[in-house]
Amino acid sequence: MRKGQLTSVIVWLFLFLLQGNLNAQGAKANFSGTWIFNDTKSIFEEGRGFRSLTQIIVNQSGNKMSVDRIRINLSGKTVPINDKYTLDGKECANTSSRGQSKTRVTWSADRKALNFMIARTFDWNGELTVLKSAEVWSLTDPNTLSIIYSLTMQDGEKKSTLVYDKK
């Protein structure tokens, strides 16, 4: 191989490796899919809480995400919760039977996790109350969604790890 050809091969190899490295750094996690709650893998601070969220359906495209949660209420009735978000840190408002929520969603530095900062306003015994919580979504593998949920209350922070398997 001549010196010019060798240099050309080295340059192309360098560009190929650089392209792969840039793609690996810039690839955002995609949470799209139907996720079924896994009670045995989940870790709860206390109470029944999230065991009622039996299924999550996520559609993520570009900078937008819709999340349809299926919840079973205390009387055993199925209650759908539909939320829409942008993944750019702008505030998104959603309303459900549980009240109004304002959420900011941002990517982690490595773009592998989504951080949700949530302020939910609801009526508590005739008084408007704001409950603040946070969620960190990550894929522990392509078929397992992990959501670390933290809730700040008067008696401190409560955390749970919710695990969902891809259907």
Distance CA 40, CA 33 (A): 21
- What is the architecture, at CATH level 2, of domain 31-166? Beta Barrel (2.40)
Per residue in 30-48, pLDDT tens? Answer: 999 999 999 999 988 755 4
Residue boundaries of the structural domains of the chain: 1-28, 31-166
Instruction: Give percent above pLDDT 70 in the chain.
Output: 81
> How high is the pLDDT of residue 115?
98
pLDDT (mean) for 140-159: 89
Return left, alpha or beta for 12; rule: phi > 0 is left, psi -120 to 50 is alpha, else beta.
alpha
- The sign of the CA dihedral 20, 23, 29, 30 is negative
Helix, strand, coil percentages for the chain (3-state, nearest 5):
15, 55, 25
